[in-house]
Amino acid sequence: GQQVMQIPQYQHVQEGEDFTTYCNSSTTLSNIQWYKQRPGGHPVFLIQLVKSGEVKKQKRLTFQFGEAKKNSSLHITATQTTDVGTYFCAGPPRTDKLIFGTGTRLQVFP
């Protein structure tokens, strides 16, 4: 079946260090969405990318959608303790289901 994998599964960084999570789909995605889930919280939408090769920035966060629309990345510059949480990518293949990635749990040490 369709799978969306994320690496790494866990990442511990010192505050101020950069962080990147990678998302890889076994099938082409029509778009990719990114969500953040704080510990004990619910997923919160961050951004959606639609075009092949698209890059979007939100302050310290940079999101990229691969040329083949099968992979994506989220890069955080100079992490802060408020960045702690699990980051999920999610994408619909050519059906109407949103398939969530396995998630990357980020821990930031002050």
Partner 1 sequence: DSGVTQTPKHLITATGQRVTLRCSPRSGDLSVYWYQQSLDQGLQFLIQYYNGEERAKGNILERFSAQQFPDLHSELNLSSLELGDSALYFCASSVIAQGVLDEQFFGPGTRLTVL
Residues 2-61 that bind partner 1 (CB under 8 A): 30-31, 33, 41-45, 48
**Minimal CA–CA distance to 34: which of 64, 7, 69?**
64
Which x/- pattern, by CB under 8 A, does the window 61-90 give for partner 1?
A: ---------------------------x-x
What is the nearest approach in angstroms of partner 1 to the Cβ of residue 41? 8
Of 66, 83, 103, 108, the residue at the interface with partner 1 (CB under 8 A) is: 103
For residues 89 and 32, is the Cβ–Cβ distance under 8 A?
Answer: yes
For residues 7 and 28, is the Cβ–Cβ distance under 8 A?
Answer: no
Residue 20 vs residues 76, 78, 94, 97: alpha-carbon distances, Å: 6, 11, 27, 26
Query: Applying CB under 8 A, does 107 fall inside the site for partner 1?
Result: no
Q: Is 51 exposed, middle or buried (0-12, 13-18, 19+ CB in 10 A)?
A: exposed
Query: Applying CB under 8 A, does 97 fall inside the site for partner 1?
Result: yes
What is the nearest approach in angstroms of partner 1 to the Cβ of residue 45? 4
Interaction site with partner 1 (CB under 8 A): 30-31, 33, 41-45, 48, 88, 90, 92, 95-103
